[in-house]
Structure 1
C-alpha cells in the first residue's frame, strides 16, 4: 500500500475568508480616499501592491489560506478598476489616468 502524503499546514476555508475580508477592507479603505476614477485607480494600485507583498510574505512564512484570500480580493479589485477604466475610456475617448 502506498503512503498517504498530507500537507503539514493545509489551506483552510476560514483563513481564505479572513484574507478576503481583510484585503477587501484594506482596498476599500484606500479607495475611499479617492476623489475621482483616476484617484481610485491609483489608490487601488498602490494599496494592492502593498497587499501583494503581504500575500507573498504570508505564502512563504505564514498562512497560505490568508494569502489566497488576499489574492482573490486583489484580483477582484484590480479587475473592477480595469473594467471601470476601460468603460470610461470607451465612452469619453480620453484615457482616465492622465
Structure 2
C-alpha cells in the first residue's frame, strides 16, 4: 500500500463580522440626502449654497468616521458616498459659474 501524506488542516474561512446590508446603506443615503437638502436650502445664492454644502459635507464626514469606528459601517458608507456626491454637485455648479462668467463665485 502507498504512503499518503497527512491531511492538511481545513482552509480558514474569513467572514465579515458585521456585513453591510442594503437597508442600512439606503438609510445612510436617505439621511444624508435630507441633510444636504436642509443645508442647501439655507443658501440664498450660489456662494452661500456652496459654503453651506461644504459645512454639510464636513459634518457628514465626521459622522461617517464616527459610524465607521463605533456604529454601523453600512450607514457610514451611505453617508460618505452621498456626501461626496453632494459636494461634487456644489463644486460642479461653482466651476460652471466660474467658467461661464470668468468670475470666482465664492468670494
Tell me, yes or no, whether TM beats 0.5.
Answer: yes
Q: Calculate the TM-score normalised by the size of structure 1.
A: 0.96
In the TM superposition, structure 1's runs of 4+ consecutive aligned residues that sit over 2 Å from their partners are none
Which has the higher Rg, Structure 1 or Structure 2? 2
Residue of structure 2 equivalent to 1:61: 70
Number of aligned pairs?
98
Residue of structure 1 equivalent to 2:37: 28
Residue of structure 1 equivalent to 2:52: 43
Structure 2: segments with no counterpart, 5+ residues: 1-9
Q: Calculate the TM-score normalised by the size of structure 2.
A: 0.89
Q: CA RMSD in A?
A: 0.7
Deviation, 1:20, is 0.4
- The CA distance in 2 between the partners of 1:38 and 1:23, in whole Å, is 21
Spell out, residue by residue over 1:31-90, the C-alpha distance to the aligned partner (whole angstroms, 9 max, x if none).
Answer: 001100110000010011111100000000000000000011111101101110111001
- The CA distance in 2 between the partners of 1:41 and 1:28, in whole Å, is 12
Residue of structure 2 equivalent to 1:90: 99
Deviation, 1:3, is 2.0
